[in-house]
Amino acid sequence: MLMYTDPMAATTIRVSTELRDRINRNAATLGLTASGLIEQLLDEHERSQRFAALGRAFASADSSYWVETKLWDTLSSDGLD
């Protein structure tokens, strides 16, 4: 059975008064709602995490990866279009 969930359903998250005020102040400065600011910040954080994982993957690549990459780079400049 499929359940329909309202994409705009809301919930409450308990935060300190000081944090709530910071969120609201920063959101207002950017012309966002508190929810919009939190979503934007979380999106940026998750993107940063993905790039960090990608960086770790490149850092752990073995020499055969770099040899193949150099070969492909050489082939891309062979003048054939």
Residue 45 three-state SS? helix
User: In this predicted model, what pLDDT tens digit does every residue of 30-71 receive, in sequence order?
Assistant: 999 999 999 999 999 999 999 999 999 988 989 998 888 888
User: In this predicted model, what pLDDT tens digit does every residue of 15-28 receive, in sequence order?
Assistant: 999 999 999 999 99
Backbone angles phi, psi at 9, to 5 degrees: -60, 145
The single residue listed with the structure tokens 């993957």 is 57
> Which contiguous run of DSSP H or E holds residue 30?
helix 17-30
Burial class (CB in 10 A: 0-12, 13-18, 19+), 71: exposed
In the chain, where are the structural domains located? Answer: 18-75
Do 37 and 30 touch, CB atoms closer than 8 A?
yes
Predicted pLDDT of residue 2: 61
Predicted pLDDT of residue 42: 97
Which pTM value belongs to this model? 0.67
